[in-house]
Amino acid sequence: MQNKLTKFALYSIIINIITKDANILDLINISTISAGYSFRGKIPELKNSGVYCVQMKDINETYNVNWSTVIETILPSRQSQVSLQFGDILFAARGQRNYAALINAELKERLAIAAPQFFVIRLNVPDVLPEYIAWFLNQTIAQRYFLSNAEGSTTPSIRKQVLEATPIILPTLKQQKTIMELATTISKEKQLAHKIIANGELLMQTLLNEISQTQLNQEEVTSC
């Protein structure tokens, strides 16, 4: 019996074909990269200040900002700051996983800054999708690069120069859009699969509880 290609394997083949003849550029050639706001000590919380600070805890499993957990803060100094804009990419420079999170339209009218654990990547060339770059930085090929260039054993970190030199496979704008459509489809299917599994596990647990309760009730009747 011949093995059939899974949907995910087919998507992978399509993406490999698309990126085969793509350009390869260092990240610094298509963007500016700046550090997050440097606080002294713990980030202070000040409600109704109108200034939001995105921290690593605010990034969800799909690498988006969960704005409901983002605190408002006060900026204690006049150091230059980079207010986040739609399309910016937050790169987690510290920790075991150097992920990229896209600032999407949910930013709305908020005045927001990034915590010092992040670098802020802002694209400065046309025909490059921020969502594609964020997606690419989270892929295995980029993650291997970060892993091999991380410094420190307890809390590994990526220096700005290392991030700037990250090789980016850059296909045409049309191809980027195609890749992102595929990536979105895969993400939705993964979420659906996880939901089905979670519902199945909940159902099994409910059945087990009912069986256990029925058994206990029967034992109580027998003992009377």
Mean per-residue pLDDT of the chain: 86
Reference 70, options 117, 104, 114, 35; nearest CA is 114
Residue 158 binned pLDDT confidence (cut-offs 50, 70, 90): very high
Domain boundaries, the chain: 1-22+172-224, 24-170
Of the listed ranges 16-20, 72-76, 83-87, the least confidently predicted one is 16-20
Whether pLDDT at 215 is above 90: no
- The rounded distance, in Å, linking the Cα atoms of 69 and 90 is 16
Q: Which residue has the tokens 């034992």?
A: 219
Centroid of chain to Cα 73: 23
CA 130, 135, 137 angle in degrees (round to 5)? 100
Q: Report pLDDT for 6.
A: 54
* DSSP-derived secondary structure for 109-169: T-EEEE-TTEEEEEE-SSS--HHHHHHHHTSHHHHHHHHHH-B-SSS-B--HHHHHT-EEE
What average pLDDT does this structure show over 6-27? 69
Q: Report pLDDT for 1.
A: 38
Residue 52: enclosing H or E segment and its boundaries? strand 51-54
- Round to the nearest angstrom and report the end-to-end CA distance of the chain: 59
Please check whether residue 40 is in contact with residue 76, taking contact to mean a CB–CB distance below 8 angstroms.
yes
Whether pLDDT at 8 is above 60: no
Q: How many residues does this entry show for the chain?
A: 224
- The rounded distance, in Å, linking the Cα atoms of 185 and 11 is 10
**Of 34 and 192, more confident:** 34
Residue 4 binned pLDDT confidence (cut-offs 50, 70, 90): very low
Is the entire prediction scored with pTM above 0.75?
yes
Q: Report pLDDT for 200.
A: 79
Whether pLDDT at 83 is above 80: yes
Share of the chain above pLDDT 90, in %: 58
**Of 47 and 208, more confident:** 47
Whether pLDDT at 186 is above 80: no
Residue 120 binned pLDDT confidence (cut-offs 50, 70, 90): very high
Reference 86, options 137, 127, 130, 49; nearest CA is 130
Superfamily classification of domain 24-170? DNA methylase specificity domains (3.90.220.20)
What average pLDDT does this structure show over 163-190? 88
Residue 32: enclosing H or E segment and its boundaries? strand 31-35
Whether pLDDT at 144 is above 60: yes
Q: Report pLDDT for 12.
A: 63
